[in-house]
């Protein structure tokens, strides 16, 4: 899929058809029937458009779309999508409208698509990138696990209309960014018998080999030597060996800033002996490596985009949480690699155990900031639902920077409190702390648990993406299934360069 920008716009349809020869033109229409875009489309497709839109009950609301097929005319397909009120039309609305255009164009078998959407209120580069991302990511399809893939056609050439000269620069990083999101989606969607800890290590090895990154994979014995008792206790019930992945991107010239990305990489979470019961979505727990997928996807993007001045470390303590004679006991007391002891009162709170040792390892690299991403708690899904991820941070600067990076990429976060009094809930009678607190505020005590494994003065943020990694029905520019959530936030944050 190729993208380009043109300054030509629908304001002069004659001139537009001289420079653009594609088969499908898509136009966004606000709900106001007197808005100039309606007259402009009418002059292109002929009088009678308003009656036709009325018959099709098109009011210009978000989510509405009408496709016109014109056998003898050029362009042969005209797609009209509703944009709602101009006041509510922001970057996210632009993404959603673009995604519905892309789907309609694919359904119409379009080969060359042009989009005429209002971008006046937005910075041209931001608007250009948002539209290109939305077309590519909404048309992503994954047929790896079917014996006969559904044939699907996507446009070869996508032209963005009415953009100022120079907007094309914003297209340069689209391929890298989208490939990163797609990798994350593929890793999350792959079933647990395919996306094993070894497969995650292989994915990291491919990125390293393709883009010249540095990769270290620590085996069980290496992790034992480092004293990673929390991580290894989770891994010990599985027949699959754990893989501790450390992938590094170094900039070509000097390093001004070093960041560490830590991802939860449970390729399957059965719950262990405090087993997940029916209704707890045990069959979906292949997506419990969503944090690691976001981190590897971001590395894939960063490796291609090659930002200057920043060194990026991706760290994933990958394993499965399973049941066997060797599995961790409820009641066990473990020692993490920073020497802290942990009483296991629930083996299903395993993610934080793997992250504890991963965070200790990341801290030793002395980064300017650490961001971890994890499908950590069902409680976060209850609190924020499936469209918003939780964000916890001890640093206001880092929290603001991540919120802004998320907004720029169309990913939503809500900052949650690291209320220290709730640490009471993690007090253990036998060890330094327990791995779970009471049910109320469960996503907060989980974040407080992690905080114990990061030095106080190191800017750190924890993103709980349990609700956002997967979408059963699809939403916005995410097709049904794995969303690749987190990649765009991480890449935008790293590129924006605000470490603290």
The end-to-end CA distance of the chain, in Å, is 36
What is the contact surface with Zn ion in residues (CB under 5 A)?
Answer: 266, 269, 288, 351
- Asked if 126 touches ligand BES (CB under 6 A), the answer is no
Select from 130-138, 266-274, 299-307, 460-468 the region that touches Mn ion (CB under 5 A). 266-274
For 339, other C-beta atoms within 10 Å of its C-beta total: 10
Which residue's CB is nearer to ligand BES, number 307 or number 330?
330
Cα–Cα distance for residue pair 485/413, rounded to 1 Å: 11
Q: Which helix (H) or strand (E) holds 433?
A: strand 433-434
- Asked if 436 touches ligand BES (CB under 6 A), the answer is yes
The CB-nearest residue to Mn ion is: 348
Q: Which of 286, 352, 434, 488 is catalytic?
A: 352
Going residue by residue from 250 to 269, which x/- string records binding to ligand BES, judged by CB under 6 A?
Answer: -------------------x
Q: Which of 38, 243, 276, 300 is catalytic?
A: 276
Cα–Cα distance for residue pair 139/135, rounded to 1 Å: 6
Q: Taking the mean position of all CA atoms in its chain, how far away is CA 330?
A: 33
| Encoded tokens for 431 | 């060890």
The DSSP bridge pattern shows strands 433-434 and 341-343 to be parallel
**Residue 442 contact among Zn ion, ligand BES, Mn ion, none, beta carbon within 5 to 8 Å by kind:** ligand BES
Q: Which of 62, 442, 459, 481 binds ligand BES (CB under 6 A)?
A: 442
- Asked if 64 touches Mn ion (CB under 5 A), the answer is no
Reduced to 3 states (helix: H, G, I; strand: E, B; else coil), residue 482 is strand
Which residue's CB is nearer to Mn ion, number 348 or number 464?
348
Q: Which of 62, 124, 291, 351 binds ligand BES (CB under 6 A)?
A: 351
Q: Which of 133, 350, 411, 452 binds ligand BES (CB under 6 A)?
A: 350
DSSP string for residues in 72-107: SSSSSEEEEEEEE-GGG--HHHHHHHHHHHHHHHHH
- Asked if 330 touches ligand BES (CB under 6 A), the answer is no
* 264 labelled catalytic: no
Buried b (16+ CB within 10 A) or exposed e, 95-114: bbbbbbbbbbbbebebebbb
CB 496 within 8 A of CB 401: yes
Give the footprint of ligand BES on residues 377-396 (CB under 6 A): 377-379, 381
* 352 labelled catalytic: yes
Question: Site residues (CB under 6 A) for ligand BES?
Answer: 269, 281, 288, 346, 348-351, 375-379, 381, 436, 442, 466
């Amino acid at each position: 899929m190729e993208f380009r920008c043109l300054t030509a716009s629908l304001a002069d349809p004659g001139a537009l058809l001289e420079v653009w020869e594609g088969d499908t033109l898509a136009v966004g229409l606000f709900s106001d029937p007197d808005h100039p875009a309606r007259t402009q489309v009418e002059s292109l497709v002929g009088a009678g458009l308003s009656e036709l839109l009325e018959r099709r009950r098109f009011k210009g609301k978000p989510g509405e779309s009408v496709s016109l097929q014109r056998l003898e005319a050029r362009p042969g397909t005209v797609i009209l999508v509703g944009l709602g009120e101009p006041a509510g039309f922001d970057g996210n609305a632009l993404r959603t409208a673009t995604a519905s255009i892309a789907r309609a164009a694919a359904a119409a078998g379009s080969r060359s698509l042009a989009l005429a959407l209002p971008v006046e209120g937005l910075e041209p580069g931001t608007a250009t990138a948002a539209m290109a991302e939305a077309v590519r990511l909404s048309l992503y399809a994954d047929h790896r696990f079917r014996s006969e893939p559904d044939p699907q056609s996507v446009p070869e050439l996508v032209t963005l209309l009415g953009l100022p000269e120079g907007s094309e620069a914003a297209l340069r990083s689209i391929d890298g960014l989208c490939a990163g999101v797609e990798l994350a989606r593929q890793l999350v969607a792959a079933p647990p018998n395919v996306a094993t800890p070894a497969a995650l290590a292989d994915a990291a090895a491919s990125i390293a080999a393709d883009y010249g990154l540095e990769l270290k994979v620590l085996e069980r014995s290496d992790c034992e030597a480092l004293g990673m008792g929390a991580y290894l206790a989770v891994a010990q019930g599985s027949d699959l060996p754990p893989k501790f992945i450390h992938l590094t991107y170094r900039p070509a010239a000097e390093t001004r800033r070093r960041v560490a990305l830590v991802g939860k990489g449970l390729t399957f979470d059965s719950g262990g002996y405090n087993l997940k019961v029916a209704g707890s979505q045990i069959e979906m727990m292949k997506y419990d490596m969503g944090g690691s997928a976001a981190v590897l996807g971001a590395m894939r993007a960063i490796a291609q985009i090659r930002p200057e001045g920043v060194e990026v470390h991706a760290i994933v303590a990958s394993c499965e949480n399973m049941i066997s004679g060797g599995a961790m006991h409820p009641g066990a007391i473990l020692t993490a690699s920073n020497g802290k002891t942990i009483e296991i009162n629930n083996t299903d709170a395993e993610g934080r155990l793997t992250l504890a040792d991963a965070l200790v390892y990341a801290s030793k690299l002395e980064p300017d900031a650490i961001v971890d991403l994890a499908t950590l708690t069902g409680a976060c899904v209850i609190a924020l639902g499936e469209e918003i991820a939780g964000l916890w941070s001890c640093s206001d600067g880092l929290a603001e920077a991540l919120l802004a990076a998320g907004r720029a990429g169309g990913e939503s976060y809500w900052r949650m409190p690291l209320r220290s009094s709730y640490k009471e809930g993690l007090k253990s009678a036998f060890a330094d702390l327990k791995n779970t607190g009471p049910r109320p505020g469960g996503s907060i005590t989980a974040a407080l648990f992690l905080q114990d494994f990061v030095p106080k003065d190191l800017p750190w943020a924890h993103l709980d993406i349990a609700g956002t990694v997967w979408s059963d029905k699809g939403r916005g520019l995410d097709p049904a299934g794995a969303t690749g959530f987190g990649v765009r936030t991480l890449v935008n944050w790293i590129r924006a360069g605000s470490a603290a």
